[in-house]
């Protein structure tokens, strides 16, 4: 294996960590397994990353880098918030093993900028924070259920069509729910 420089090694560690966690889950992401994946022993990894928390932060950065945010954003803060979180929900549904990292804050996180943008658009800090947290909770909950990371309890429903529909988490349903939440918050903030 050709020798890599420090930045290339850190990037390879991040890519391998994402691949392992995305494929096999966070419990499978050990420093020993990560080291094997990049051709280093576990102890040597600590020359490149501070520890497992730093590795998880990199997994979160790579997950969020997949969120395609419209450019330019829609004109209203409501439409912009809906677009950003819908894109995040789509990414989370496609990476069910990583959903539990969805609310993790990492250094340089764009989440802080998004929250600041809401305040800049006229929402007070408390209203903006409550709205951000509520929409994030809805998004993560939807992703957990849509990805089947949480077992569904439709077995007690006598109507097979209703049971089937209950087990189906559609992105259109998410959009309806997130729009209603954002609209309600906008009405309350007015």
Comma-separated ranges of CATH 1.10.357.10 domains in the chain? 69-189
Q: Which two tokens stand for residue 170?
A: 């559609």
Contact 150, 174 (CB under 8 A): no
**Would the pLDDT of 91 be above 60?**
yes
Q: Does residue 124 register a pLDDT over 60?
A: yes
Burial class (CB in 10 A: 0-12, 13-18, 19+), 190: exposed
Which of 62, 66, 1, 6 is CA-nearest to residue 37?
1
Topology of 6-64 in CATH? Arc Repressor Mutant, subunit A (1.10.10)
Give residue 80's pLDDT. Answer: 84
pLDDT of 151 > 70? The answer is no
- Give the C-alpha separation, 102 to 153, whole Å: 24
Q: If we measure between CA atoms, which residue out of 97, 186, 179 comes closest to residue 139?
A: 179
> How many other C-beta atoms lie within 10 A of the C-beta of residue 139?
25
> What's the pLDDT band for 35 if we cut at 50, 70, 90?
very high
| pLDDT at 145 > cutoff 70 | yes
From-to residues of CATH 1.10.10.60 in the chain: 6-64
Q: How confident is the model at residue 76 (pLDDT cuts 50, 70, 90)?
A: confident
In terms of CATH, what superfamily is 69-189?
Answer: Tetracycline Repressor, domain 2 (1.10.357.10)
Residues 6+ apart with CB under 8 A from 124: 189
E strand or H helix at 65, and its extent? Answer: helix 52-65
């Amino acid at each position: 294996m050709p020798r890599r420089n420090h930045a290339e090694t850190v990037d390879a560690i991040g890519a391998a960590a994402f691949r392992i966690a995305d494929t096999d889950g966070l419990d499978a992401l050990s420093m020993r397994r990560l080291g094997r994946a990049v051709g280093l022993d576990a102890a040597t990894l600590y020359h490149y990353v501070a520890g497992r928390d730093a590795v998880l932060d990199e997994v979160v950065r790579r997950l969020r880098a997949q969120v395609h945010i419209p450019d330019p954003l829609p004109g209203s803060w409501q439409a912009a918030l809906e677009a950003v979180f819908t894109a995040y929900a789509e990414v989370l549904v496609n990476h069910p093993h990583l959903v539990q990292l969805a609310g993790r804050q990492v250094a340089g996180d764009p989440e802080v900028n998004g929250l600041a943008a809401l305040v800049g658009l006229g929402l007070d800090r408390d209203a903006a924070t409550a709205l951000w947290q509520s929409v994030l909770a809805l998004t993560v909950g939807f992703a957990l259920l849509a990805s089947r990371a949480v077992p569904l309890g439709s077995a007690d429903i006598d109507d097979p069509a209703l049971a089937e529909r209950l087990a189906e988490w559609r992105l259109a349903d998410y959009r309806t729910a997130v729009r209603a939440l954002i609209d309600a918050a906008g009405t309350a903030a007015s």
